[in-house]
Chain A
Amino acid sequence: MKRILTAAVTATMPLTMCLGGAGAMAADVKVGSAGGITGPIAELVVPIMAARNLAATHVNEQGGLLGGGTYQLVASDSQCDPKAAVDAGAKLVNVEQVVAVLGANCSGATNGMAQSVTIPAGVVMLSDSATAPSISELDDNDLVFRVAASDAYQGRSLAELAWANGYRALAVTYANDDYNAGLAGVFEAAFAELGGTITASQVHEPDKASYRSELSTLAGAGGEGLALFAYYGSSGITILRNSLENGLFGKFLGADGMMDNSVIEQIGADTLRGNIMLSQPASDTEDVSYQAFASAFEAAGHNATSPFVAHSYDVSFLMALAIEKAGAADRSMIPAALRKVANAPGTVIRPGEWEKARAAIAAGEDINYEGASGAIEFDKNGDVAGTYSLNGVGDDGTWTTM
């Protein structure tokens, strides 16, 4: 027993010294960057973390925060699990003493971390990909924001787009996770409200080798196409392949969880062209802000079409703007500043324009960040309204706005 205790004490000593050292550099500003680094959406989170870091690089290369301080993102693994997220949040807020938290990614992790850690501690949280409607309802003292629109918007928007494109009867399948299940529920209700028919609706578990039995049940009920709510890697691509190979469905609708170039690479651009429509939150690929982000992100060696990366860049950049606007690395001043720098009116700032933003803030001007993922105007719940673009496979074999 004694030996263990000695070992434990020796092991923690350099740690505490290390922590003490970090506090001495007052100019650096630490912001937590929580994400599901390990766990069920690990493959989506690699580019998400890279996009947050890219924004931090832009800030630091163009003069840094609060008169030369480094904008430092402290990564923490929320594992897409509320238990782990509460633990990750407790470390960020208390041990790392961050002034704000970016993330988390999954709605459940975000919900747990917000309610149990960040709201009681008075730390603002800005998520890039939590879309559950329940997050709008938290008693959050205006401390929880997100730039990903609630599913209540995207499901409705996709239903309207489907209706406008002539679909009247659709089969629905969705992966049984919080994101896709919520989206499918809103979509079905909205499509029925418009006058459309949902011929059949079938939930599926992700990561199965084949979905033929689910798909033949769905195809048996008829429908002009399949509305597919899934992440591309865990079930989306398999469902597309099974449907096409067996001639069960030829037309597909989906949301941004499917929007990755690997879908086109694996299924084939010619097969998909004209047969698939995906809605994606705002980022109009022709938009100046999106282009500014996408070219920088591609130049850094990442894939700008990966789900939510534009949002991830935006949360990181927005938080830097808010801290600069607040004028101090002070937890209590950042939430109000966040709303100010995101919402109109003000000098328009786009991704990467840190130097311009810094000058404008120094001159006392208002800022209006126009992000890569959309205009970003927070409402009273800290939510953004969803505007969506419709994407298909373009002539060059990549996802293109239609």
Chain B
Amino acid sequence: MDQLYGIFLYAVFLLTMGGIYAVLALGLNIQWGFTGLFNAGVGGFFAIGAYVSAILTSAASARHLGGYDLPVPAGICAAMIASALVAWGIGRICIRLRSDYLAIATLGIAEILRLVLKNEIWATNGARGISRIPKPFEHVAEPWNQVGMLLLVFAIVLVLYVLLERARRSPWGRVMAAIRENEDAARAAGKDVERLRIEAFILGGALMGLGGALMAHHIKFIEPNVAEPVSATFLVWVMLVIGGSGNNRGAIFGAILVWTIWSATEILTTRLPSEWATKAAYLRIFLVGLALQIILQKFPEGIFRERRFQTSAASVHPPPFNRENTS
């Protein structure tokens, strides 16, 4: 009985984290899946969201900026606004760049943001991080505290899904697809391509900030490491590509599937004798890579394909995006 209860609680943790990644993947889906913007700086927006919400909601501390004691929802809203503003600034400068150049620019900017957060010690406590970030439902008895957090995350994912599906079907969503498929044609049709691309960039950035804020409240502690590229940028890319870019359901499913593979493989490797433990951790990363390769080989366009507005033989699919495992 204890064992079943334990597995239930672990599933709650697993899905909470998967849900937070789903928010990030939905944000990236707006940028890459809808509009074709290659943002390789997910971690930067994630970090802004995490830090803004952490600073606004945590108790006063001599080590970092804070003591505003705002309620968590206010912190989360501020996190989205801050990330959106940063995305707007970056978009104004970089959005004209073609996809691969945009990738290089955003990758660089995300690293700059992370290093600023690491070195502006007066505000962020540098590498030591911000501790004691409030968590929704934390004063409720276990397991309802963890279940409450899970329901909150899933409610947010659901609301985002409904809104983004509406956006995707709307004229706005169709223009985005047009820009992705053929920018010149969209421009010739009288669309303000630059402005629309910035809109997608800002909206995606705001969702990444939301994901960062949720992560900060979930783990109650944030440090610059949390936004390092492997687990904050490339993992999100893997999730979206495996789930199926351009498809909101794919983004959510991909996030939960990849996080489950990422996390649950350890349950297998801990069955090995303890002397092997240090080696088994690397074996696990190998298993994760292998699983991702198999999925990508089997579903080159992601598990959920993008649903087209009309299916004609002439419609061009985005090229399959096959990336080496990032670990």
Residues of A within 8 A of B (CB): 1, 4, 15-16, 18-20, 23, 33, 37-38, 40, 45-46, 49, 53, 56, 72-77, 80-88, 90-91, 93-97, 107-108, 111-112, 115-117, 120-122, 132, 134, 137-139, 176-178, 181-182, 203
With a cutoff of 8 Å between Cβ atoms, the chain B residues found around residue A107 in the complex are: 128
Given contacts A82-B221, A95-B6, A116-B135, contact A77 B127 (CB under 8 A): no
8 Å CB contact of B131 from A1, A88, A111, A120: A111
Beta-carbon contacts under 8 Å, B1-37 to A: 2-3, 6-7, 9-10, 13-14, 17
Beta-carbon contacts under 8 Å, B114-147 to A: 118-119, 121, 126-129, 131-132, 135, 138, 142, 145-146
B275 on the interface (CB 8 Å rule)? yes
CB distance from B76 to the nearest CB of A (A): 17
Q: Report whether A19 and B231 are in contact in the complex, using a CB–CB cutoff of 8 Å.
A: no
Given contacts A108-B225, A178-B223, contact A18 B271 (CB under 8 A): yes
With a cutoff of 8 Å between Cβ atoms, the chain A residues found around residue B220 in the complex are: 111-112, 115-116
Give the complex CA separation of A177 and B121 in angstroms: 12
Given contacts A83-B17, A108-B225, contact A116 B218 (CB under 8 A): yes
Q: Report whether B274 and A73 are in contact in the complex, using a CB–CB cutoff of 8 Å.
A: yes
Q: Report whether A108 and B118 are in contact in the complex, using a CB–CB cutoff of 8 Å.
A: no
8 Å CB contact of A15 from B13, B267, B284: B267
**Smallest CB-CB separation from B260: which chain A residue?**
A8
With a cutoff of 8 Å between Cβ atoms, the chain A residues found around residue B226 in the complex are: 81-83, 108
Q: Report whether B274 and A137 are in contact in the complex, using a CB–CB cutoff of 8 Å.
A: no
With a cutoff of 8 Å between Cβ atoms, the chain A residues found around residue B126 in the complex are: 176, 181
Given A75-B274, A178-B127, A178-B129, 9 new contacts (CB under 8 A):
A1-B303, A38-B285, A49-B278, A73-B274, A80-B225, A91-B263, A112-B219, A115-B131, A115-B221
Give the complex CA separation of A80 and B119 in angstroms: 19
B268 on the interface (CB 8 Å rule)? yes
Q: Report whether A120 and B277 are in contact in the complex, using a CB–CB cutoff of 8 Å.
A: no
Which 4 A-B pairs have CB atoms at the shortest separation, nearest pair first? A75-B277, A90-B13, A37-B281, A94-B10
B170 on the interface (CB 8 Å rule)? no
CB distance from A307 to the nearest CB of B (A): 16
With a cutoff of 8 Å between Cβ atoms, the chain A residues found around residue B231 in the complex are: 81, 83-84
Q: Report whether B131 and A87 are in contact in the complex, using a CB–CB cutoff of 8 Å.
A: no
B166 on the interface (CB 8 Å rule)? no
**Smallest CB-CB separation from B129: which chain A residue?**
A108
Give the complex CA separation of A76 and B280 in angstroms: 10
Q: Report whether A46 and B278 are in contact in the complex, using a CB–CB cutoff of 8 Å.
A: yes
B282 on the interface (CB 8 Å rule)? yes
**Smallest CB-CB separation from B257: which chain A residue?**
A4
Q: Report whether B284 and A77 are in contact in the complex, using a CB–CB cutoff of 8 Å.
A: yes
**Smallest CB-CB separation from A175: which chain B residue?**
B127
With a cutoff of 8 Å between Cβ atoms, the chain A residues found around residue B280 in the complex are: 75
8 Å CB contact of A53 from B270, B274, B281: B274
With a cutoff of 8 Å between Cβ atoms, the chain A residues found around residue B127 in the complex are: 176-178, 181
With a cutoff of 8 Å between Cβ atoms, the chain B residues found around residue A75 in the complex are: 270, 274, 277-278, 280-281
Tell me which of B7, B278, B284 has the highest count of chain A C-beta atoms within 10 A of its own C-beta: B278
CB distance from A59 to the nearest CB of B (A): 13
CB distance from B225 to the nearest CB of A (A): 5
With a cutoff of 8 Å between Cβ atoms, the chain B residues found around residue A16 in the complex are: 7
CB distance from B114 to the nearest CB of A (A): 11
With a cutoff of 8 Å between Cβ atoms, the chain B residues found around residue A40 in the complex are: 225
**Smallest CB-CB separation from A89: which chain B residue?**
B13
- Chain B interface mostly helix, strand, loop or mixed? helix
**Smallest CB-CB separation from A47: which chain B residue?**
B278
B266 on the interface (CB 8 Å rule)? yes
CB distance from A71 to the nearest CB of B (A): 10
Give the complex CA separation of A80 and B268 in angstroms: 21
Q: Report whether A120 and B146 are in contact in the complex, using a CB–CB cutoff of 8 Å.
A: yes
Given contacts A87-B263, A134-B63, contact A82 B222 (CB under 8 A): yes
With a cutoff of 8 Å between Cβ atoms, the chain A residues found around residue B270 in the complex are: 74-76, 91, 96
With a cutoff of 8 Å between Cβ atoms, the chain A residues found around residue B55 in the complex are: none
Q: Report whether B128 and A134 are in contact in the complex, using a CB–CB cutoff of 8 Å.
A: yes
Give the complex CA separation of A115 and B142 in angstroms: 13
Given contacts A77-B284, A177-B127, contact A120 B225 (CB under 8 A): no
Tell me which of A1, A15, A94, A107 has the highest count of chain B C-beta atoms within 10 A of its own C-beta: A94
Give the complex CA separation of A367 and B228 in angstroms: 45
With a cutoff of 8 Å between Cβ atoms, the chain B residues found around residue A15 in the complex are: 267-268
Q: Report whether B225 and A94 are in contact in the complex, using a CB–CB cutoff of 8 Å.
A: no
B215 on the interface (CB 8 Å rule)? yes
9 contacts between A and B (CB under 8 A): A23-B2, A40-B225, A81-B226, A82-B221, A86-B219, A87-B13, A90-B9, A112-B220, A178-B223
Given contacts A15-B267, A176-B127, contact A33 B146 (CB under 8 A): no
8 Å CB contact of B10 from A4, A33, A91, A116: A91
CB distance from A111 to the nearest CB of B (A): 4
Beta-carbon contacts under 8 Å, B251-294 to A: 263, 266-268, 270-271, 274-275, 277-278, 280-282, 284-285
Q: Report whether A49 and B3 are in contact in the complex, using a CB–CB cutoff of 8 Å.
A: no
With a cutoff of 8 Å between Cβ atoms, the chain B residues found around residue A132 in the complex are: 128
8 Å CB contact of A20 from B3, B228, B281: B3
Q: Report whether A88 and B285 are in contact in the complex, using a CB–CB cutoff of 8 Å.
A: no
Give the complex CA separation of A87 and B127 in angstroms: 21
Q: Report whether A138 and B263 are in contact in the complex, using a CB–CB cutoff of 8 Å.
A: no
Given contacts A73-B274, A86-B13, A91-B10, contact A137 B132 (CB under 8 A): yes
With a cutoff of 8 Å between Cβ atoms, the chain B residues found around residue A120 in the complex are: 138, 142, 145-146
8 Å CB contact of A178 from B128, B132, B135, B275: B128
Given contacts A178-B128, A178-B129, contact A38 B281 (CB under 8 A): yes
Given contacts A111-B131, A138-B132, contact A91 B267 (CB under 8 A): yes
Give the complex CA separation of A211 and B281 in angstroms: 32
CB distance from B60 to the nearest CB of A (A): 12
CB distance from A274 to the nearest CB of B (A): 33
CB distance from B269 to the nearest CB of A (A): 9
With a cutoff of 8 Å between Cβ atoms, the chain A residues found around residue B2 in the complex are: 23, 97
With a cutoff of 8 Å between Cβ atoms, the chain A residues found around residue B268 in the complex are: 15
Give the complex CA separation of A138 and B129 in angstroms: 14
Q: Report whether B267 and A38 are in contact in the complex, using a CB–CB cutoff of 8 Å.
A: no
With a cutoff of 8 Å between Cβ atoms, the chain A residues found around residue B14 in the complex are: 87, 90
With a cutoff of 8 Å between Cβ atoms, the chain B residues found around residue A76 in the complex are: 266, 270
Give the complex CA separation of A13 and B267 in angstroms: 13
Give the complex CA separation of A229 and B270 in angstroms: 34
With a cutoff of 8 Å between Cβ atoms, the chain A residues found around residue B282 in the complex are: 38
CB distance from B281 to the nearest CB of A (A): 4
8 Å CB contact of B219 from A77, A116, A182: A116
With a cutoff of 8 Å between Cβ atoms, the chain A residues found around residue B271 in the complex are: 18
